[in-house]
Amino acid sequence: MNPNTIYRVSIKGLDVKDGKLLLVKEDTSLWELPGGGLEHGEEPTEGLLREIGEETGIDVEILEARPIYVWTQERDDGIRRCFLGYKVSFPTLDFTPTNECQEMKYFSVEEIKKLPLSPNSAKIPRFFNPKDFV
């Protein structure tokens, strides 16, 4: 097996309100889509609910069974990742801060372009289109 074809799968939630995308700020001061790594044998939607629950303590609703966006990324540490982005809805932003989620806020495309983004979310400005969520 060629090690250059191995990817870690991450699942991300995309909640859009009034054309703005919800991002979470980690304790690293970088903004990121909520979600995380898929565990071996775990279904993507189950992993997404688990990851968002671990980060925020909030139970989200997954709005579609299939991802709306799929993207890949190779990090400086050599880890290749494949991201599955699902439409979700957060019923509230009332949460207790943790090291994985210090703050939650909605941002426009233009605002996102100016944010310090996590390497995992660096491609968001290239593909996020609020019209995909109408």
Residue 76: half-sphere exposure toward Cβ, Cα within 13 Å: 3
**Confidence class for position 105, pLDDT limits 50, 70, 90:** very high
pTM above 0.95, yes or no: no
Task: Note the pLDDT of residue 79.
Answer: 82
**Confidence class for position 3, pLDDT limits 50, 70, 90:** low
Using a 10 angstrom Cβ sphere, with 0-12 exposed, 13-18 middle and 19 or more buried, the burial of residue 89 is: middle
**Confidence class for position 86, pLDDT limits 50, 70, 90:** very high
Average pLDDT, the chain: 93
pLDDT tens digits, one per residue of 14-71: 999 999 999 999 888 999 999 999 999 999 999 999 999 999 999 999 999 999 999 9
